């Protein structure tokens, strides 16, 4: 049986039962957009030539949750996030955001989401103010001046506002990138290593801002990180990937208990070696 | 629609900020066409003063150089503005925003036009002051020539931008080299009749050919060939459609291939 036949057979014969945990199972085919989970990843697969970068991944992120997507290098996190953003089209399965298939209907939902990733930079030749203005206008932000002033205050950007973004320190750039990610008050926020280049003090400072935003806005956050302390502090739920597959999911504390580890850090190391 | 215009304006502002941020960039836009025009301008003066049989073609030569530059710089302006997104690793930010491909293309077209005006006007002035060649002698036909060449440059720019998205930096050199393929076939410096007969259909399938034939009709016979310009405009509409379809298709193909997120790394 070929890999594809195997996949299809598996998909038909062993559907993941919904409701086993808040983040498992397939969403119904037709779901009212308002009732849809913030993110639903259903049998998601991505094949590059002969390599399966993502291999039948399923999880659901309910609205208002912060979920961590963890895994070692090459685990498939970035590809999964890229498919959720609609930047990569899945080979099989689908990634839904707020009830819309990101492969075919992404433009219906893009104004309600945003992201930050170390792979992507803000235009370095523009000042921070110019960048925030351009992206605010792209997202159609109402009262843009007020929104930028709020972000300047929240992220203490006043002293760098008129400086060229490319000449900022790594930490300052990250703060600006997170501010850009919040410019449109997104309902769904995708963060790839949001504090990777920050010192522990600044990282905690950014985390507190993200927590504050999530609480105030009731936003959904999908976060990829290698910093397990960060994940434990921010995330309600964790999905751990290895070799393109989900190898474990649960609340951080539950996972530690399940694998008889002291904390998530140990769970991560254990799964990286075993899986 | 207002939202769409707002996004186009935002992107144009973004490109304008880049241009404004460096006087060297502004100088570069004027520098190359000006230097090229100096070379051809001196040749024009030499031929014109030589009273030889070549003297009558001197104006044709300079007119052809000027119009070819409109085509070449228009395409470079479009493609280089787009490449800024790749170089600054900003493409994923744009792809993840509500910006539509058509809006991105419209802002690139606007910027190409702005760069063209910045680069061309000083050169035209220079040509007139130094060599006494008045490009406005081409009359209202000049607007038709300019419009058609700009439309062609955008169609080519769209294809190159699509190839860069699909193939990555490997396709970047196309920005410089693709126009050279057109140079011998679209009869910039000689009439279509100078080509072998079997190449005539190829030449007439290229929009710049109509412009350069039209220019020769104006400068040699003093007649403006409206028929050529209408045919050229119709062909340009087709090419722009093909260009945009190619751009969208290659963008979609890049989404299947992956790598949009990490493009520019």
Report the pLDDT averaged over residues A47-65.
93
Report the pLDDT averaged over residues B89-103.
93
CA dihedral B78, B83, B88, B93 (to 10 degrees): 70
Tens-digit pLDDT profile for residues A107-138: 999 999 999 988 888 999 999 999 999 999 99
User: What is the CA angle A161-A167-A170, rounded to 5?
Assistant: 90
Contacts of B229 (CB under 8 A, 6+ apart): B141, B144, B145, B148, B210, B214
Closest CA to A92 of A118, A57, A125: A57
Question: Is the pLDDT assigned to residue A18 strictly greater than 80?
Answer: no
> Rounded distance, CA A55 to CA A57, Å?
6
Of A33-42, A44-53, B52-61, B154-163, give the lowest mean pLDDT range: B52-61
Work out the minimum CA distance from B227 to partner chain A, whole angstroms.
42
pLDDT score recorded for residue A12: 38
Tens-digit pLDDT profile for residues B173-196: 888 888 888 999 999 999 999 999
pLDDT score recorded for residue A15: 30
Whose tokens are 């750039």? That residue is A173
Going from the C-alpha of A172 to that of each of A195, A213, B7, the distances in angstroms are 11, 19, 27
pLDDT score recorded for residue B134: 77
Tell me which fold the domain A3-274 belongs to: Rossmann fold (3.40.50)
Question: Is the pLDDT assigned to residue A253 strictly greater than 60?
Answer: yes
Q: Are A110 and B96 within 8 A, CB to CB?
A: yes
Whose tokens are 């689908």? That residue is A94
3-class DSSP state of B134: coil
Residue of A121, A140, A180 with shortest CB distance to B88: A121
> Rounded distance, CA B32 to CA A73, Å?
46
pLDDT score recorded for residue B264: 57
Which residue in chain A has the smallest CA separation from B87?
A123
Report the pLDDT averaged over residues A63-79.
91
Question: Is the pLDDT assigned to residue A99 strictly greater than 50?
Answer: yes
Would the CB atoms of B93 and A85 count as touching at under 8 Å?
no
pLDDT score recorded for residue A248: 92
Q: Which residues pair with A115 in a beta bridge?
A: A190
pLDDT score recorded for residue B175: 82
Query: B212 falls in which pLDDT band (50, 70, 90)?
Result: very high
Question: Is the pLDDT assigned to residue A7 strictly greater than 60?
Answer: no
Would the CB atoms of A85 and B88 count as touching at under 8 Å?
no
Strands A39-48 and A92-97: antiparallel
> Rounded distance, CA B110 to CA B88, Å?
20
pLDDT score recorded for residue A33: 61
Q: Per-domain residue ranges for chain B?
A: 2-257
pLDDT score recorded for residue B265: 53
pLDDT score recorded for residue A28: 42
Residues of B in contact with A123 (CB under 8 A): 14, 18, 84, 88, 90
Query: A3 falls in which pLDDT band (50, 70, 90)?
Result: very low
pLDDT score recorded for residue B1: 60
Residues of A in contact with B18 (CB under 8 A): 123, 125-126
Which residue in chain B has the smallest CA separation from A123?
B88
pLDDT score recorded for residue A32: 55
Start-end of H helices in chain B? 2-21, 23-50, 58-87, 91-95, 101-131, 141-167, 174-185, 200-204, 207-216, 226-257
Residues of A in contact with B89 (CB under 8 A): 119-121
Would the CB atoms of B93 and A126 count as touching at under 8 Å?
no
3-class DSSP state of B5: helix
> Rounded distance, CA B74 to CA B97, Å?
27
Report the pLDDT averaged over residues A232-240.
92
pLDDT score recorded for residue A193: 85
Q: What percent of chain B has pLDDT over 70?
A: 96
Would the CB atoms of A86 and B258 count as touching at under 8 Å?
no
Token pair in block for residue A254: 């539950």
> Rounded distance, CA A259 to CA A237, Å?
16
- Radius of gyration, alpha carbons of chain B: 19
Q: Chain A residues contacting B, CB < 8 Å?
A: 46, 48, 53, 78-79, 81-82, 85-89, 107, 110-111, 113-115, 117, 119-127, 130, 133-135, 137-140, 164, 180
Would the CB atoms of B96 and A114 count as touching at under 8 Å?
yes
> Rounded distance, CA A40 to CA A145, Å?
34
Tens-digit pLDDT profile for residues B58-87: 788 888 988 999 999 999 999 999 999 998
Question: Is the pLDDT assigned to residue B43 strictly greater than 90?
Answer: no
Give the ipTM: 0.86
Question: Is the pLDDT assigned to residue A22 strictly greater than 70?
Answer: no
Would the CB atoms of A135 and B6 count as touching at under 8 Å?
no
SS3 string of chain A? Answer: CCHHHHHHHHHHHCCCCCCCCCCCCCCCCCCCCCCCCCEEEEEEEEEECCEEEEEEEEEEECCCCEEEEEECCCCCHHHHHHHHHCCCCCCEEEEEECCEECCCCHHHCHHHEEEECCCCCCCCCCEHHHHHHHHHHHCCCCCHHHHHHHHHHHCCCCCCCCCEHHHCCHHHHHHHHHHHHCCCCCCEEEEECCCCCCCHHHHHHHHHHHHHHHHHHCCEEEEECCCHHHHHHHCCEEEEEECCEEEEEECHHHHHHHCCCCCHHHHHHHHHHHC
> Rounded distance, CA B110 to CA B12, Å?
7
Give B11: exposed, middle or buried? Use CB within 10 Å, 0-12, 13-18, 19+.
buried
Question: Is the pLDDT assigned to residue B159 strictly greater than 90?
Answer: yes
pLDDT score recorded for residue A4: 43
Query: A8 falls in which pLDDT band (50, 70, 90)?
Result: very low
Q: What is the DSSP track for B145-199?
A: HHHHHHHHHHHHHHHHHHHHHHHGGGGTTHHHHHHHHHHHHTTSSS-GGGS-GGG
Q: Are A100 and A109 within 8 A, CB to CB?
A: yes
Q: Are A12 and A92 within 8 A, CB to CB?
A: no
pLDDT score recorded for residue A215: 92
Give B5: exposed, middle or buried? Use CB within 10 Å, 0-12, 13-18, 19+.
exposed
pLDDT score recorded for residue A16: 34
CA-based end-to-end distance of chain A = 24
Going from the C-alpha of B69 to that of each of A19, B15, B26, B120, B142, the distances in angstroms are 65, 22, 17, 8, 14
Strands A100-101 and A92-97: antiparallel
Tens-digit pLDDT profile for residues A168-217: 998 899 899 999 999 999 999 999 888 877 888 888 888 999 999 999 99
Residue B176 CB neighbour total at 10 angstroms:
14
């Amino acid at each position: 049986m070929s890999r594809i036949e195997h996949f299809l057979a598996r998909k038909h014969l062993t559907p993941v039962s919904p409701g086993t945990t808040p983040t498992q199972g397939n969403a119904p085919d037709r779901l009212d957009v308002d009732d849809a989970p913030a993110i639903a990843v259903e049998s998601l697969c991505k094949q590059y030539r002969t390599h399966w970068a993502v291999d039948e991944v399923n999880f659901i992120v309910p609205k208002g949750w912060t979920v961590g997507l963890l895994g070692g290098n090459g685990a498939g996190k970035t590809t999964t996030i890229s498919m959720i953003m609609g930047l990569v089209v899945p080979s099989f399965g689908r990634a839904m955001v707020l009830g819309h298939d990101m492969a075919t209907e992404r433009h219906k939902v893009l104004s309600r989401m945003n992201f930050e990733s170390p792979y992507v930079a803000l235009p370095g030749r523009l000042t921070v103010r110019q960048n925030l203005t351009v992206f605010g206008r792209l997202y159609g932000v109402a009262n843009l001046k007020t929104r930028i002033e709020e972000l300047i205050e929240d992220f203490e950007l006043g002293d760098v506002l008129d400086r060229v973004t490319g000449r900022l320190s790594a930490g300052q750039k990250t703060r600006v990138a997170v501010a850009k990610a919040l410019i449109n008050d997104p309902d769904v926020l995708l963060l790839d290593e949001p504090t990777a280049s920050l010192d522990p003090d600044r990282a905690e400072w950014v985390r507190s801002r993200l927590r504050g935003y999530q609480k105030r806005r009731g936003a959904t956050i999908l976060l990829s990180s290698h910093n397990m302390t960060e994940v434990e502090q921010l995330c309600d739920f964790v999905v751990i990937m290895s070799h393109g597959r989900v190898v474990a999911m649960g609340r951080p504390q539950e996972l530690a208990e399940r694998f008889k580890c002291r904390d998530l850090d140990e769970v991560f190391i254990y799964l990286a070696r075993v899986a | 629609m207002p939202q769409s215009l707002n996004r186009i304006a935002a992107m144009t502002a973004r490109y304008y900020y880049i241009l404004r941020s460096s006087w060297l960039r502004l100088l570069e836009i004027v520098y190359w066409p000006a230097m090229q025009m100096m070379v051809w301008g001196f040749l024009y003066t030499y031929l014109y003063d030589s009273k030889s049989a070549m003297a009558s073609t001197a104006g044709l030569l300079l007119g052809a150089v000027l119009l070819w530059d409109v085509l070449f710089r228009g395409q470079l302006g479009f493609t280089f503005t787009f490449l800024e997104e790749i170089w600054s690793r900003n493409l994923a930010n744009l792809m993840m925003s509500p910006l539509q491909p058509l809006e991105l293309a419209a802002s690139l077209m606007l910027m190409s036009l702005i760069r063209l005006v910045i680069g061309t006007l000083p050169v035209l002035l220079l040509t007139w002051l130094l060599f006494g060649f008045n490009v406005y002698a081409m009359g209202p036909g000049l607007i038709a020539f300019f419009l058609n060449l700009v439309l062609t440059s955008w169609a080519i720019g769209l294809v190159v931008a699509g190839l860069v998205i699909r193939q990555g930096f490997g396709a970047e050199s196309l920005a410089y080299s693709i126009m050279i393929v057109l140079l011998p076939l679209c009869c910039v410096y000689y009439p279509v009749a100078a080509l072998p007969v079997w190449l005539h259909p190829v030449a007439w399938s290229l929009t710049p050919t109509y412009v350069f034939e039209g220019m020769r009709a104006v400068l040699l016979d003093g007649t403006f060939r409206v028929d050529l310009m209408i045919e050229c405009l119709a062909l340009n509409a087709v090419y722009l459609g093909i260009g945009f379809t190619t751009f969208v298709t290659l963008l979609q193909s890049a989404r299947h291939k992956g790598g949009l997120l990490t493009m520019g790394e």
